[in-house]
């Protein structure tokens, strides 16, 4: 006799209903509390960014209307013959400004092309994307844009390389205005692939290194870790250099002062320090011009050198503040400049004009406490 098993279908259906339904695209798994907090924070940031963009757009509109109104009032208050002269003078002034800006853009492009042939090679290593959050990668992309702008206005620009330009960080870079026309080397692969058979010339700049960088060797290729991690991954660049068997070195910051509350320099600060050293051949000048006073403590120059230090002090106040940037809508990175408003306006214009400045790609291709180079005291 064959035994027959009777299934209680209603009971089985009830039991199945009590079980958690499988996660599907229509029924995604519930978010954790931390994930929900991150999502809400991101939504608040995006809302604030949209609000800032709207306010800035309205401010620009009102400013334009005010200037037009003032111009119309000025014309209305002068005789007819003087009115024509004023209009012609204004057009001539505008034409001269445009010609001057075009000339400056051409000179910057020429300097960058020359640097691509014989400039000091500096690599931004972008292979740390897996260690960063989306907001940190966006912050890094803005720092890279600032690096490019500063390099273009430098008297002795470097030959900049971006390696590891792929994945999310590559997507972030593609969103930057004019990025496709930058005169900069862009490599999807690592610096090992970009500099085959030159391993002996690779030098990773990391504050954990024992060797102090005294000079910039034109033969060497200096690597800066492209990492924004709020100091979560200490020693990661030194570990990478050791594992790869390449040289490492640290900036001689401790020879001049100690970094204060924050032991961190941003990617753009390190690049700008190297550029200043290429111009001046003096580390002290480079450090005082680039590192903000709030990050410096310890012994300052004495005697007559105090006057030079005071001058450098004033110049050093014009630093990029990454935490102050307004990154919305392809606008220029905004920087906080405390004493050098004119320089700020010039640099802002240079970044906004990135798409106009350069043609072709040579690829064979603001100071937050975001880590890229940790200073050793």
Distance, CA of 362 to CA of 356 (rounded, Å) = 16
3-state secondary structure of 160: strand
Q: Of 184, 180, 176, whose CA–CA distance to 112 is shortest?
A: 184
Distance, CA of 79 to CA of 73 (rounded, Å) = 12
User: How many Å from the N-terminal Cα to the C-terminal Cα in the chain?
Assistant: 89
Buried-state track 322-354, b at ≥16 Cβ within 10 A, e below 16: beebebbeebbbbbbbeebeeebeebbebbbbb
Handedness of CA 141, 351, 322, 147 (dihedral sign): positive
3-state secondary structure of 218: coil
Residues 286, 315: contact at Cβ < 8 Å? no
Residues 157, 64: contact at Cβ < 8 Å? no
Q: Which CA distances in Å does 349 have to 101, 145, 356, 375?
A: 10, 13, 11, 32
Handedness of CA 147, 281, 198, 250 (dihedral sign): negative
Q: Indicate which residues carry an active-site annotation.
A: 229
Distance of CA 132 to the CA centre of its chain: 15
- For the record, the structure tokens of 232 come out as 């979560």
3-state secondary structure of 124: strand
Q: How many CA atoms lie within 13 A of 28 on its CB side?
A: 4
Residues 373, 224: contact at Cβ < 8 Å? yes
Distance, CA of 108 to CA of 116 (rounded, Å) = 12
Distance, CA of 365 to CA of 310 (rounded, Å) = 43
């Amino acid at each position: 006799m064959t035994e027959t098993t009777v299934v209680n279908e209603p009971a089985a259906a009830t039991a199945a209903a009590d079980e958690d339904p499988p996660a599907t695209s229509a029924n995604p798994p519930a978010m954790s509390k931390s994930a929900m907090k991150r999502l809400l924070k991101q939504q608040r940031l995006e809302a604030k960014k949209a609000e800032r963009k709207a306010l800035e757009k309205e401010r620009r509109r009102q400013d334009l209307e005010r200037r037009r109104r003032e111009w119309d009032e000025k014309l209305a208050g002068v005789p007819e013959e003087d009115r024509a002269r004023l209009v012609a003078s204004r057009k001539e002034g505008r034409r001269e400004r445009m010609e001057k800006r075009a000339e400056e853009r051409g000179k910057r492009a020429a300097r960058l092309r020359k640097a691509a042939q014989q400039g000091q090679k500096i690599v931004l290593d972008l292979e740390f994307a897996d260690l960063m959050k989306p907001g940190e990668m966006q912050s890094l992309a803005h720092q890279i844009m600032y690096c490019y702008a500063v390099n273009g206005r430098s008297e002795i620009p470097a030959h900049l390389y971006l390696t590891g330009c792929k994945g999310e960080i590559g997507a972030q870079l593609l969103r930057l205005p004019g990025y496709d026309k930058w005169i900069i080397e862009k490599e999807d692969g690592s610096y090992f692939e970009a500099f085959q058979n030159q391993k002996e010339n690779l030098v990773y700049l990391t504050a954990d290194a024992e060797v102090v960088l005294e000079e910039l060797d034109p033969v060497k290729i200096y690597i800066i870790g492209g990492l924004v991690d709020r100091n979560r991954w200490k020693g990661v660049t030194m570990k990478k250099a050791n594992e790869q068997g390449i040289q490492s070195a640290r900036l001689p910051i401790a020879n001049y002062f100690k970094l204060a509350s924050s032991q961190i320099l941003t990617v753009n600060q390190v690049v700008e320090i190297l550029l200043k050293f290429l111009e001046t051949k003096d580390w002290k000048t480079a450090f005082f011009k680039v590192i903000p006073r709030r990050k410096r403590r310890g012994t300052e120059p004495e005697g007559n050198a105090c006057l030079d230090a005071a001058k450098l002090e004033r110049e050093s106040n014009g630093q990029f503040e990454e935490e102050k940037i307004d990154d919305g809508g392809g606008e220029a990175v905004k920087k906080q400049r405390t004493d050098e408003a004119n320089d700020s306006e010039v640099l802002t214009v240079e970044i906004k004009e990135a798409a106009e400045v350069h043609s072709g790609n040579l690829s064979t291709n603001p100071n937050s406490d975001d880590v890229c180079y940790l200073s050793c005291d």
